[in-house]
Structure 1
Amino acid sequence: MYSSYADSMQWLDDIQVLEMIVDKFSSSDSAEVHANAAEILCAVTRYAPPALATKISSPSFVGRLFHHAFEDSRPKSVLVHSLSVCISLLDPKRLVSASYQAFRSQLSHGTLVTASPETVNGMLDSLGDLLKLLDVSSAENILPTTYGSLQPPLGKHRLKIVEFISVLLSIGSEVAEMRLIDLGAIKHVINLFFEYPFNNFLHHHVENIIVSCLESKQDHLIAHVLDECELVTRILEAEKNSALSIDLTKRTLSSEGRTPPRVGFVGHITRIANKLIQLANSNSTIQSHLQQNSGWTEWHASILTKRNAVENVYQWACGRPTSMQDRGRDSDDEDFRDRDYDVAALASNLSQAFKYGIYPSEDVDEAQASQERDDEDVYFDDEAAEVVINSLRLGDDPDRWLPVYKLQLVCV
């Protein structure tokens, strides 16, 4: 037995426990093993003793993660969970799963790991290879959906790459910003935003990317989004052609013989448009860009202003919806609960809960059958994700958690 916490942590460092864990990405093909390894490494990034913190944030350790992720024989789950660790290094307070929220208050040792410029540079070395995986032009698989088909589906691994880019932009690294601009990463993810009009998780991350760029103090980043990415023009075009395309060359195709549905990102572009208006009040670059676009001026006056009035819940005759009322919040948890939830991790963890019978339900067999589907082409729908997130926000008392008996997996 070790006499102190410091001695036990030193022992973990001596036996190279981090190396043993990260090598599970190479030695196992099991997505469950990869998820567990990432969960442990993410926990280390949040409350690690100095020795382990230094090691896990080192460029060599980051390089080891990406080496396993890019091995040809590795399943996509290695890439997904390796990026989860990198995201946690960049933003240690980001919630990866419900389990961390439940036990984090019991942790008293160590401090949050902060990604150094060297750590960020180590990640940037692999950025070009990551962006190659975002390219969907060579993929030939087609996924039928209720509204048409995806050719190809985006996949969980590409969604994770977009999330990684979102977090990378949020840390304020000018080197990272310039690298993303030079590689065309921001323009590429904005294109994906419009190519996959029903992938709300993608829209969420891309909206964060756009807002990070617009709120930055770097004029070159703002100009890149407005001019080279043609953000305002893309918004106006999407508003003008708001029905799903029937063009056979598009990534998302409407079903034949049916009226094409409206695209699913209108709410996101409305928020982006309102953010542009808000920032234009204090940023002359944005203000000048909007004023020079006559189409924007007309759309703002005729469409956006009316839409904002209709969607202003404070003006509804029935009053403000009860679900919108401010909850009492524990100030200690406020910073954590304002963070994004990794829905992919929630899906993986809760699906495993069904698999092993943790949640009693008459639909367990159905949930188990869903495990056999291609993990790259499934995600939570909005309703299921909302149920899960609401259950987490009810507090740490398990008796107060909402019962989550059935999670519907839908195709992206």
Structure 2
Amino acid sequence: VESILDKENFTLEELLDEEEIIQECKALNKLVLLDAHYVLNSLMFSLRDRAQVEQLLRYIVEEPSEDDDSKRTFKFPFIACEIFTCEIDVILKTLIEDEEFMNLLFSFLEPNRSHSALLAGYFSKTHQEVLRQLVDLIGITSIMEVLVRLVGADDHVYPNFLDVMQWLADSNLLEMIVDKLNPSCPPEVHGNAAETLCAITRNAPSALATKLSSPSFVARIFGHALEDSHSKYGLVHSLSVCISLLDPKRSAIASPLMHYFRNQHMYEPPIPVNPETINAMLPKLGDLLMLLNVSSDEKILPTTYGELRPPLGKHRLKIVEFIAVLLRTGNEAAEKELVGSGTIQRVLDLFFEYPYNNALHHHVESIILSCLESKNDAILDHLLHKCDLIGRFLQTEKQPILSGDNNLPTLPAAGKHAPRAGNIGHITRISNKLVQLGSSNSCIQAYLQ
């Protein structure tokens, strides 16, 4: 290898024909100080060259012609595959950061191309290594964007889109990405892994989306969400994926308040979701809902109107959002669980405990409307009687000024006039909806009377 690299002009084929090339590449992966070894240093810079990487790829994805010799047919594709699977970061980085190279790699799956068993094996082995490298670097946003394109967020990337999605579903790509939701991973890895999984749900129906919504994967995602109650980032991002499984279009809008502006004057029908997906979420629902109670949290957040003791927190807001989306599916088992666990009542408590959290009010309003429009009389009765919805609205109307009760988390600033509660607008809109529904629902009408 050294004598070839010393030549002024040498070809990639000369390197691939050298018996020691694979051993040298494996040594490249183990070497820490490349500058300490001239041969390995030169080899690395040679193999990571764009033209060389492209030729290595072509050996793996393009069938040799009848006139090619045995080296082109057998040896060079084998050596090219081995080089890619030696886990040389600089070579893999050149590959995964170039969209043309990724398209070339996936061109092997085009149905109009011939697929010999030999090249199919090399492609599979190379592709698994590329996927592993991509997922390992998912915390880097540019790499995450490559993965998002790869999983079909834009189905125009591949002319044979369905074949590629099936191939990816048959690989262990989803397992690797979901494992990045593990609480031991840093927040940026959680966030980018969740965004990639949400991109898959937005592209349903596809083989990847079907696999992700299967009970085993839903249980796996929920497991990561609850694995460490102190890992709030992991919980928030795992729930984002669960929300996207229930409502794929939701994850395409960054701000939850945008849903309010989008749907303020629109009827939202129940979301059609596979019941198996929802049923896989229910066993862990009780553990999740316990996190809505944080009496031990001693954090204090100063605000313009006073202070929060403790603040609501992103994780509790995300749990309430998840409950809102879950109820919109109209699943009776989910409704029964939420009523029996006291979750509806606890969420309503939060609505009044945090009268200035507009995002929270939006989600609670959605929960209340889902209960009011439910075909299940039990959840409607629970909301109106057990939770005393209208009684609490009337109480807020009588006393709209923020209370100074030290047992509540939202306190007015000392020495200042207590401000008016910030959830009056939502209360008014819900009340108007109650009157509207009362004209066609005898239960609501009787309660209003």
Taking structure 2 as the reference length, the TM-score comes to: 0.59
Instruction: State the partner residue of 2:433.
Output: 275
Aligned match of 2:364 in 192, 206, 230? 206
Q: CA deviation at 1:7?
A: 3.6
Shift of 1:248: 1.2
Partner of 1:367: none
In the TM superposition, what is the alpha-carbon distance from 1:72 to its structure 2 partner?
2.2
* Aligned residue identity for 2:342: G
Q: Percent identity?
A: 62
Q: Secondary structure at the match of 1:253?
A: strand
SS of equivalent residue, structure 2 residue 421: coil
Alpha-carbon distance in structure 2 between the residues aligned to 1:98 and 1:129: 27
1: distance between equivalents of 2:200 and 2:286? 27
2:246 matched to 1:90?
A: yes
Contact 1:92 1:114 in 2 (8 A): no
The alpha-carbon distance between structure 1 residues 98 and 252, as it changes in their structure 2 partners (threshold 3 A), is closer
Alpha-carbon RMSD: 2.0
2:285 & 2:363 partners in 1: Cα distance?
Answer: 17
Asked if structure 2 preserves the Cα contact closer than 8 Å seen for 1:162 and 1:206, the reply is yes
CA distance in 1, matches of 2:243, 2:178: 15
The one of 406, 412, 418 aligned to 1:254: 412
- Give yes or no for the alignment of 1:51 onto 2:207: yes
Per the alignment, residue 343 of structure 2 pairs with: 185
Q: State the Cα deviation string for residues 353-405 of structure 1 (Å, max 9, x = none).
A: xxxxxxxxxxxxxxxxxxxxxxxxxxxxxxxxxxxxxxxxxxxxxxxxxxxxx
CA 1:49–1:120: 2 relative to 1, 3 Å: closer
Within-5 A mapping of 1:343-382: none
Matches within 5 A, 1:132-151: 132-151=290-309
Question: Which deviations, in whole Å up to 9, do the C-alpha atoms of 1:26-54 show, x marking residues without a partner?
Answer: 17532222121111111111214643232
Is 1:239 the counterpart of 2:375 in the alignment? no
Partner of 2:319: 161
Shift in Å, 1:278: 0.6
CA deviations over 1:133-186 (Å, ceiling 9, x no partner): 000222111111111111110000100000000011111111111111001111
* Offset from partner CA, 1:59-80 (integer Å, 9 cap, x none): 1101111111112276211111
User: 1:69 aligned to 225, 230, 236, which one?
Assistant: 225
Question: What is the CA deviation profile of residues 179-233 of structure 1, one whole-angstrom value per residue up to 9, with x for unaligned ones?
Answer: 1100111111000000001001000000110011111222111111100000000
Q: Aligned partners of 1:157, 1:230: CA distance in 2, in Å?
A: 26
Offset from partner CA, 1:290-342 (integer Å, 9 cap, x none): 11xxxxxxxxxxxxxxxxxxxxxxxxxxxxxxxxxxxxxxxxxxxxxxxxxxx
- Determine if the alignment matches structure 1 residue 12 to structure 2 residue 119: no
The match for 1:2 is 109
Task: Please say if residues 147 and 261 of structure 1, whose CA atoms lie closer than 8 Å, have aligned partners that are also in contact.
Answer: yes
Distance 1:226 1:65 in 2: 34
1:32-51 equivalences under 5 Å are 32-48=188-204, 50-51=206-207
Q: Give 2:219's aligned amino acid.
A: G
Do 1:24 and 1:33's aligned partners in 2 also have CA atoms closer than 8 Å?
yes
Asked whether the 8 Å contact 2:324–2:363 carries over to 1, the reply is yes
**2:436 is matched by which residue type in structure 1?**
Q
Instruction: Report the alpha carbon displacement of residue 115 of structure 1 after superposing the two structures with TM.
Output: 3.1
In structure 2, give the amino acid aligned to 1:5: F
SS in 2 for 1:126: helix
Paired with 2:305 and 2:220, the residues of 1 have a C-alpha distance of: 41
Alpha-carbon distance in structure 2 between the residues aligned to 1:51 and 1:74? 34
Letter in 1 for 2:435: I
Structure 1 contact 29–74 (Cα < 8 Å) conserved: no
Q: Which has the higher contact order (CA 8 A, sep 6+)?
A: 1
Please, which runs of 5 or more residues in structure 1 have no aligned partner?
102-112, 292-412
Structure 1: distance between partners of 2:205 and 2:431: 44
Tell me, yes or no, if the aligned pair for 1:9 and 1:49 is still in contact at 8 Å: no
State the distance in 2 between where 1:218 and 1:48 align: 29
Return 5+ residue gaps in structure 2 as ranges: 1-107, 111-159, 259-270
Query: Separation in 2 of the partners of 1:256 and 1:285?
Result: 44
For residue 265 of structure 1, what is the aligned residue in structure 2? Answer: 423
2:246–2:325 contact (8 Å) kept in structure 1 = yes
**Equivalent residue, structure 1, for 2:100:** none
- Which structure has the larger Rg? 2
SS at match of 1:224: helix
